Structure 1
Amino acid sequence: MADNALIDLLKQTGPLLSSDLSKLLETKSGLTPEAARKRVERGCAGMTRLNHIIFPHRARFCYLQDDYGSPLFFDNLMEALKKTRSSYFAALQALALRGNVMPRRHFLIACGAPVAQKKHISAETLLERLVKATLVKEVALPGGESCVVRCDHHQMLEMTSMWAKMKGRLIAEKVTLLAVKDWARNLGMVSYDSVETREDEGLEALPKVGTFNWDLAGPSYLFPMREYVSTALKPGFFVCDLALNGWVNAAHLAGFVNKCVTLRSLKKVGKCLQIFVAESYQTEAFALLKEQGIIPATTESLFGRDVAVALKNLCTVLTDTAKLTQNPEALDKIFNDLSRIEGAASTLRGSLFEFAVAQIARSTFLGYPQEMNRIVKDSIGAEAEIDVLVHRPNHEVVFIECKGIHPISTLDDAEVEKWLLKRIPVIRGFVKTHSEWSGICQRFELWTSGKLSENATAMVNAARAKNPKLDIQLRDSEYVLAQAMSSNDQGLIKAYRQHFVTHPMQEFEEARQREQRKAEKAKARLNAPTSQPSTALPVSPPSASALAISTLANL
């Protein structure tokens, strides 16, 4: 009977704390508080307690197994965590703000917990407990990035769409961090060469001030921030977190506000100017940040409406790949609208090259059905992402790997090696189980907007020699441009030439090469054997413009 009473109560109310369940059982069944508490502690078949998350007074979160992972489960859990002011509430809200999926290293910034601090749970420990409690799980994406995902039933079934949305958001956030960094440096708010972001290449650790990680951080020597300690100048700091995923409410900001308030209590850390960047805020969220002395910035208030709309559109079109691949003007407009942000072009070039390839492939593989960013698994569960897939039924399937890089640079050999040794084997393993493709021609191509080294070519030749049946092709910038030109799509040709071919250093490089060829020809004429006395004029020294070009090219 007692078993039925507990089950019936959980069916009526949904998941709830054991302390609340005891009170309900006491009221409904006329039991004493002690008897009700003991019945809840004993539990019953079908009732489960959440492990590794302990509430005040040793209360536990109780639920029916059928409710696990449901919207009701998480709604009631969040309410219980909020009521007890749990650090897990802030962490899960930060995850919710970002679509319930985010890179692991970003979670360690956004969760609101410190790297390490006495009497505080660390970010790593917090994540570990959430994983053990099966509230979140870590998922390794095909690119190798480890992501934190909330264990919702429906979301775990929609990982492909979640990954596409996250990918678009992360690109927009990367561009935004570049803009905030540029803005802060140009205003003199931070030491110009000392500001760091979570996206900086070669950065071993995340930006850190005090005991917390931040999306962006740097020392500030502005008068209100700096101070003298024993005649030594001590800087303050400028710190920033961001999330570009629509409206932000007050609960979403719990972790960020906790970081800011705790940071101010650290005696050894200088004064800090704190800012959060979002697309927009609900009224209570905006008021909360203002009340706490934090700047509630939006992309529009920082960079103007045009850039804000461009960043919003960037997220949208990257999620809707079909819309972007069928509209070359959309690609061109994104580049142009964000061109004022220093460093945005190189970021967008790498991120959007696959969309340009997908547009070009429509004419290169005329009539072939096309798909982008498909994630596949082999028989042992290893995953790989296919950037662009084109398929002619009963004839052939082509898997294209895209590498958008600086127009005059050479693709890193490590990228080619990873493609050969990791991605291709996984895709081939997947094809073996795909009856439609297993019996037709398969081709693997790597397209890049830059150059390919001799070593890369040698690696591919070695792979072909090892398996003569394996069709592998390298496609450099000249090939990709030729394919774009042969499409006769003027919008595509213009966008591709402008954003993936033309570059300020390209002109210097071409001029340098012309001067080098002239010098080599002149030297060859001087050294050429002749039966008659040479009448060649002495070679004049390089011109000032040539020297300038050579100097710039070698910087």
Structure 2
Amino acid sequence: MAENVLINLLKQHGPMLSSDLSKLLETKCRLNPEAARKRVGRGCPGMNRLNHIVFPHRARFVYRQEDYGSPFFFRNLMDALRKTRSTYFAALQALDIRDNVMPKNHFLIACGAPIAQKKHVSAESLLERLIKATLVKEVALLGGELYVVRIDHLQMLDETALSAQTKGRLIAEKVTLFAVKDWSRNLGMVSYDSVETREDEDSSTLPKVGTFNWDLAGPSYLFPMREYVNTTLKPGFFVCDIVLNGRVSVDQLTGFINKCTTLRSLRNVGKCLQIFVAESYHNDAFTRLKEMGIIPATTESLFGRDVALALKELCSVLRDTAKLTQNPDALDKIFCDLSRIEGATSTLRGSLFEFAVAQITRSTFLGYQQEMNRIVRDSIGAKAEIDILAQRPNHEVVFIECKGIHPISTLGDEEVEKWLTKRIPVIRGFVKTHSEWTHLTQRFELWSSGKFSENAIAMVTAAQANNPKFKIHLRDADYVLAQAMESKEAGLLKTYQQHFVTHPMQEFERAQTREKRKADRTAARLNKPPIEVLPQSVSLSASEK
């Protein structure tokens, strides 16, 4: 009888805290509080307790097994976490604002927990407990990088869909972070060479101020921020977090607000200017940030309406790969609209090169069926992402790896080695279990918008000699351009030449040639020796090198 009562209450009211279940039992069965607590404590078959997440007064979250992981389960869990002001609420809300999928490093920034601080659960420990409670899971996506995914979201979508869904937002956030970095440096808000972002490739650590990680951080020597301590000048700090995924609610900002308020209470940290960047805010979220003295920035307020719309469109088209691969103008528009952001072109070039290649192969691989960003596994569970898969029924299957780099750069040998020793073997292992492809000719190609070193070419030559059953090819910038020209599509060729071939040094060289010819013509008219045009210094931004 008691067992049926507990199950019926959970069935009627849904998952809840054990303390709330005890109160319901008191009312329904007219038990005294002590007896009700003991009966809930004993539990019954079919009633489970959420492990590793303990609530105040030793309360536990209890539920029926069949409700686990359902929307009902997570809605009631979030209500319980909010009511008890749990740190896990902020962490799960940080996931929620990002469609419940985010890189592990980004989660350690956004969850609201410190790196390490007395009387606080660290970000790493918080993530570990959420994993043990089977509320989230670490999954390798997008080239093997670890992502944190809420378990119900993982069940609804496959890994390929998760990759496509997440890629657009991450690229848009990367472009925006670099723009905020340049904006803050150009205004003198931060020390020019000391500001860091989570996207900096030359850094092995995340930006840190106080006991927290941030998406962007840098010391500030502006008068209101700096202070003297025993004649020593100490800077303040500029910190920023970002999410570009629609309108932000006040609950979804809990982790960021917790970080900001805790940071202000630390004695040895200078004054901080805090900013959050989003596409837009709910009214209560905007008001809350203003009340807390935090800047509620949007992409439109920072960069104008055109750039804000371009960033939003970037997220949209990368979720729908067909929109880019079938329309060269879409790719060109994104580049043009975002060109006013310093460094955006080089970021987009690397990220969107595979879409340009997909457009080229769609026009030149006639009779081939095409698919992008397919994730495959071999027989032992190792997986790899195929950037572009092109197959001609009963004839051939082609696996294309894309590496978009600066046009005058050489692709690192380590990237070629990783392709040869890791990705190709996994794909080969998958092909052996794929009955449709087992007997087809297999071709593996690495396309790059730059060059390959002699060592890389030698590695591929040796790999081909050792594996005569399939073909291996390197496709450099000259080959890719030739294929774009062979497509006979004027829009595609224009877009590719403008954004993947032209670079600052070429423009500089053309300008120097024009100046030299102009000087020669002037000298000829005046019957004087030609004037030597001295080359001017050219500096490339770090993102263009």
TM band (smaller chain): over 0.9
Instruction: Quickly say closer, same or farther: Cα 1:100–1:551, change in 2 above 3 A.
Output: closer
Amino acid at match of 2:301: S
Q: Does 1:128 align with 2:128?
A: yes
CA drift of 1:469 comes to 1.4
Residue 469 of structure 1 is matched in structure 2 by 469
Equivalent position amino acid for 1:480 in 2: V
Alignment of 1:139-288 (within 5 A): 139-152=139-152, 155-288=155-288
Q: Percent identity?
A: 77
Q: CA deviation at 1:363?
A: 1.7
Q: Does 1:101 align with 2:129?
A: no
The farther-off stretch of 201-210 and 52-61 is: 201-210
Q: Please tell me whether residue 372 in structure 1 is matched to residue 372 in structure 2.
A: yes
Matched residue SS, 2:219: strand
- Structure 1 distance, partners of 2:154, 2:87, is 25
Query: Residue deviations 1:254-293, cap 9 Å, x none?
Result: 0000000010011111100000000000011001101100
Evaluate the alpha carbon distance shift between residue 42 and residue 551 of structure 1 in structure 2; reply closer, same or farther with a 3 A threshold: closer
CA contact (8 A) 1:191 1:218 kept: yes
Q: Which residue type is aligned with residue 278 of structure 2?
A: A
Contact 1:70 1:153 in 2 (8 A): no
Query: TM-score under structure 1 normalisation?
Result: 0.92
SS for the counterpart of 1:108 is helix
Other-structure match for 2:488: 488
In the aligned structure 2, how far is the partner of 1:462 from the partner of 1:373?
28
Q: 1:547 to 1:283 in 2, by over 3 A?
A: closer
Secondary structure of the structure 2 residue equivalent to 1:310: helix
The letter for the 2-side match of 1:29 is: C
**What amino acid is aligned across from residue 492 of structure 2 in structure 1?**
L
Q: Distance in 1 between matches of 2:100 and 2:540?
A: 46
Residue 207 of structure 1 and its aligned partner are, at CA, apart by 0.3
Q: Structure 1 residues 396, 510: closer, same or farther in 2, change over 3 A?
A: farther
Question: TM-score scaled by structure 2?
Answer: 0.94
**Residues of 2 paired with 1:69 and 1:75: CA distance?**
10
Q: Distance in 2 between matches of 1:154 and 1:213?
A: 26
CA–CA separation in structure 2 for the residues paired with 1:144 and 1:511 = 43
Q: Say whether the 8 Å CA contact 1:512–1:549 is kept in structure 2.
A: no
Which one-letter code corresponds to 1:63 in the other structure? Y
Equivalent residue letter for 1:383? K
How far has the Cα of 1:470 moved from its partner?
2.0
Is the CA contact (8 Å cut-off) linking 2:144 and 2:384 kept in structure 1?
no
Provide the residue aligned with 1:528 in structure 2. Answer: none
**In 2: Cα distance, 1:287 partner to 1:158 partner:** 38
CA distance in 2, matches of 1:246, 1:27: 43
Task: Give the CA deviation at 1:142.
Answer: 4.9
Q: Alpha-carbon deviation of 1:156? A: 4.9
**Residue type at the aligned position of 2:114:** P
- The residue type equivalent to 2:228 in the other structure is Y
User: Contact 2:378/2:429 (CA < 8 Å) preserved in 1?
Assistant: yes
Where does residue 536 of structure 1 map in the other structure?
Answer: none
Counterpart residue number, 1:531: none
Gaps of 5+ in 2: 514-529
Any idea what SS the aligned residue of 2:452 has? coil
Match of 1:56 in 2: 56
For 2:499, the equivalent position in structure 1 comes to 499
What is the DSSP-based 3-state SS (H/G/I as helix, E as strand, rest coil) of the residue aligned with 1:179? helix
Structure 1 residues 512, 469: CA separation in 2 closer, same or farther (over 3 Å shift)? farther
Superposed CA offset, 1:394-453 (max 9, x none): 111101000000001101010000000000111111111111111111110110000011
CA contact (8 A) 2:15 2:62 kept: yes
- The CA distance in 2 between the partners of 1:511 and 1:550, in whole Å, is 12
Secondary structure of the residue that 1:435 maps to in structure 2?
coil
What is the distance in 2 between the residues matched to 1:153 and 1:265?
A: 36
Residue 526 of structure 2: aligned partner: none
- Cα offset for 1:158? 3.3
The answer on whether the counterparts of 1:511 and 1:546 sit within 8 Å (CA) in structure 2 is no
1:176, distance to aligned residue in structure 2 (A): 0.2
Residue 192 of structure 2: SS of its match in structure 1?
coil
SS of the residue 1:147 aligns to? strand
Deviation of 1:548 after TM superposition, in Å, equals: 4.7
Opposite residue 396 of structure 1, the aligned amino acid is: E
- Equivalent in the alignment of 1:518: none
Q: Cα distance 1:52–1:223, how it changes in 2: closer, same or farther (>3 A)?
A: same
Q: Are 1:438 and 2:438 counterparts?
A: yes
**1:279-318 equivalence runs, <5 A:** 279-318=279-318
Q: Secondary structure at the match of 1:276?
A: strand
CA contact (8 A) 1:512 1:550 kept: no
1 CA distance for matches of 2:198 and 2:538? 34
Q: Which residue of 1 aligns with 2:516?
A: none
- CA deviations over 1:452-500 (Å, ceiling 9, x no partner): 1111111011111111112111100000000000111110000000000
1:319 maps to 2:303 = no
Contact 1:142 1:383 in 2 (8 A): no
Paired residue type of 2:360: I
Which position in structure 1 is the counterpart of 2:421?
Answer: 421
Shift of the 376–543 alpha-carbon distance from structure 1 to 2, 3 Å rule, reads farther
CA-to-aligned-CA distance 1:486-521 (integer Å, 9 cap, x gap)? 1111100000000000111135579999xxxxxxxx
Distance change (3 Å), C-alpha of 1:413 and 1:276: same
Moved more, 22-31 or 92-101: 22-31
Question: Where in structure 1 are there 5+ consecutive unaligned residues?
Answer: 514-541
The verdict on how the C-alpha distance between 1:444 and 1:260 changes in structure 2, with shifts beyond 3 A counting, is same
Q: Give the superposition deviation at 1:45.
A: 0.9
The corresponding residue for 2:86 is 86
Residue 543 and residue 25 in structure 1: after superposition, are their counterparts in 2 closer, same or farther (change >3 A)? farther
Q: Which amino acid aligns with 2:463?
A: A
8 A Cα contact 2:317 2:324, kept in partner: yes
Q: Is 1:69–1:153's contact at 8 Å kept on the other side of the alignment?
A: no
Structure 1 residue 364, shift from structure 2 partner: 1.7
When residues 550 and 312 of structure 1 are mapped into structure 2, their CA distance, relative to the original with a 3 A threshold, is closer
Secondary structure at the residue paired with 1:438?
Answer: coil
SS at match of 2:410: coil
Instruction: Give distance in 2, aligned partners of 1:477 and 1:238.
Output: 40
Instruction: Tell me which residue corresponds to 2:519.
Output: none
* Aligned residues of 1:164 and 1:319 also touching (Cα < 8 A): yes
C-alpha displacement at 1:160, in angstroms?
2.2
> Which aligned pairs between 1:317-466 and structure 2 lie closer than 5 A?
317-466=317-466
Please tell me whether the aligned partners of residues 318 and 324 of structure 1 are also in contact (alpha carbons under 8 angstroms): yes
Amino acid aligned to 2:160? T
Q: Deviations over 1:193-225 (max 9, x none)?
A: 111000011212100001100000001111111
- For residue 151 of structure 2, what is the amino acid of its counterpart? C
How many aligned residue pairs are there? 526
> Match of 1:28?
28
Structure 2 distance, partners of 1:41, 1:371, is 53
Is this contact kept in 1: 2:159–2:375, CA < 8 A?
no
Answer with 38-47 or 148-157: which moved more.
Answer: 148-157
Q: What is the alpha-carbon root mean square deviation over aligned residues?
A: 1.9
Q: Distance in 2 between matches of 1:425 and 1:543?
A: 59
Give the whole-Å Cα distance in 2 for the aligned partners of 1:104 and 1:544.
Answer: 56
Task: Tell me how far 1:315 sits from its aligned partner.
Answer: 0.3
Q: Residues 72-129 of structure 1, C-alpha deviation per residue, up to 9 Å, x if partnerless?
A: 1110000000000000000000010011010000000000000111111110111111
Q: Which amino acid aligns with 1:464?
A: Q
| Whole-Å separation in 1 of the counterparts to 2:540 and 2:241 | 36
8 A Cα contact 2:141 2:159, kept in partner: no
Runs of 4+ in 1 over 2 A off after TM superposition: 153-160, 506-513, 542-553
- Cα 1:179–1:382 change in 2 (3 A) is same
